[in-house]
């Protein structure tokens, strides 16, 4: 799912390409994309663009007359800038936003149509789409600490809870926790002030770092490789690949449709976190430490 760095760069490029433009209309290929009925989608026709911004992981297109288009890409939604009136007959195309400067085409590769679009009238109605998460790049340490400790959750769950922090998802939470040297399953109530400071710093530095990388990649072009799996990442999507800090093989915990990636030496004091499905299967044979795991998998440990 596109997260804060990805959505930020999308917003910046859309804003640059539609500044002073008019939205001529929206072509919907998938009826399941539009989740609102009032105002109708026809209400946005021929409205001048008033501004583009990020709201959590959502993209908000502001239009004259206090109208807004709220787009959530979910897991597989991606955006592409095309010539005005570009065809959207292909199966993966869900919609086209036709501006006077070009067409913004929404695609979704997954067969599960999860991306959503809302037409919203007025700033008060727009607030209903705001999950209330703290903006991680602009918050102070005190604000970060207060929000982090407002609920007793694991760090992974806390960072990815949209009502706690805005725009952080599965990928960048893995990278943040690795940078902070903290276990994803540590409870927020057990963190020391020093650890919270490390996490605050790691959160801002990680998100700033990747936002700058994505900006540099797209430069004056439109983002083309929006993905949660990047070669330069330390742990996310790098199961059984060496940690860039200590060379220990990255481990993972799978749950639902997500997974947690971590380095057992850098983050969990050498302890192997139990994957529920595997630990249930292996029982007492589940390795408790990274040393025990490496003894059982000598070929992988040397990889």
Give pLDDT < 70 ranges for the chain: 256-257, 275-303
Note the pLDDT tens digit of each residue in 208-234. Answer: 999 999 999 988 889 988 988 898 999
Residue 38: both structure tokens together: 């009032």
Q: What is the pLDDT of residue 281?
A: 38
Q: Give the angle 82-85-87 at the CA atoms, nearest 5°.
A: 80
Q: Please name the residues in contact with 110: beta carbons below 8 A apart, sequence gap of 6 or more.
A: 75, 76
Neighbours of 35 (CB within 10 A): 12
The single residue listed with the structure tokens 């390795």 is 287
The single residue listed with the structure tokens 């859309």 is 14
Q: What is the pLDDT of residue 111?
A: 74
* DSSP character at residue 273: P
* DSSP character at residue 271: B
Q: What is the pLDDT of residue 159?
A: 97
Q: What domains can you pick out in the chain, each with its CATH number?
A: 4-129 (3.20.190.10), 134-303 (1.10.8.50)
Residue 117 has φ and ψ, to the nearest 5°, of -135, 130
Q: What is the pLDDT of residue 280?
A: 47
Q: What is the pLDDT of residue 301?
A: 53
For residue 262, the SS3 value is strand
The closest of 116, 27, 115 to 76, measured between CA atoms, is 115
């Amino acid at each position: 799912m596109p997260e804060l760095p990805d959505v930020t760069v999308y917003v910046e490029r859309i804003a640059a390409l539609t500044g002073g433009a008019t939205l001529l209309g929206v072509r919907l290929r998938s009826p399941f994309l539009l989740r609102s009925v009032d105002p109708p989608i026809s209400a946005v026709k021929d409205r001048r663009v008033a501004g583009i911004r990020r709201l959590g992981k959502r993209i908000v297109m502001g239009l004259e007359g206090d109208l807004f288009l709220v787009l959530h890409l979910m897991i597989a939604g991606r955006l592409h800038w095309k010539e005005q009136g570009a065809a959207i007959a292909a199966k993966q195309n869900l919609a086209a936003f036709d501006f006077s400067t070009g067409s913004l085409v929404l695609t979704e590769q997954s067969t599960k149509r999860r991306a959503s679009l809302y037409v919203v009238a007025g700033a008060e109605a727009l607030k209903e789409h705001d999950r209330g998460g703290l903006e991680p790049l602009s918050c102070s340490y005190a604000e970060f600490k207060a929000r982090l400790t407002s609920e007793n959750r694991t760090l992974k769950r806390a960072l990815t809870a949209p009502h706690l922090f805005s725009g952080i998802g599965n990928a960048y939470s893995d990278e943040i926790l690795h940078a902070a040297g903290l276990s994803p399953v540590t409870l927020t109530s057990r963190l020391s002030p020093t650890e919270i400071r490390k996490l605050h710093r790691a959160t801002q530095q990680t998100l700033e770092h990747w936002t700058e990388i994505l900006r540099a990649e797209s430069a004056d072009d439109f983002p083309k490789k929006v993905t949660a799996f990047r070669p330069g990442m330390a742990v996310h999507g790098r199961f059984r690949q060496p940690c860039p800090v200590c060379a220990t093989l990255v481990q993972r915990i799978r749950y639902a449709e997500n997974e947690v990636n971590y380095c057992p030496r850098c983050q969990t004091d050498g302890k192997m976190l139990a994957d529920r499905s595997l630990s249930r299967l292996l029982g007492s044979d589940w390795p408790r430490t990274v040393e025990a795991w490496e003894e059982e998998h000598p070929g992988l440990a040397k990889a």
